[in-house]
Amino acid sequence: MVTQAMTLTHLWPGAPVSPSVLLSQGLSDTSPDEGLIEDLTIEDKAVEQLAEGLLSHYLPDLQRSKQALQELTQNQVVLLDTLEQEISKFKECHSMLDINALFTEAKHYHAKLVNIRKEMLMLHEKTSKLKKRALKLQQKRQKEELEREQQREKEFEREKQLTAKPAKRT
């Protein structure tokens, strides 16, 4: 039967084995060929024990790592969902900023329209006053022309009357 120290030496050639273990098995440092054939036969039970030892040594760490990875994956999913919600909030805020900009622009144009309307009303009043004044001036000119025409007719009549008329013989 091969011992565990020898099995480790053959499985892992670089594994350290103390000289006392080699001497206790009847091996010496001087002849490396002694007992080589016996050491090469490894029993299935030793392989199973080594595999179980290896598994028992690394399996708990691997299971903890697996659980930690699952937790990280779950946390990552939660973070991704949260990130998507935050992105949608930022999009809403950005659209709100756009809406606010539109309202500000609408207020600006509304103020312009109000100013234009005031100017149009003022211009309408001025044109109405100018039309009234033009009508009054036209009426005044017509009246003056009528008075001049009447004056001319009077003068013409007066000159007619002033012109000498031949006297009638009777």
For the stretch 65-100, pLDDT in tens is: 999 999 999 999 999 999 999 999 888 888 888 888
Q: What is the mean pLDDT of residues 132-136?
A: 96
Query: Within 10 Å of residue 6's Cβ, how many Cβ atoms?
Result: 21
Judge whether 116 and 122 are in contact, CB under 8 Å. Answer: no
Res. 15: pLDDT tops 50: no
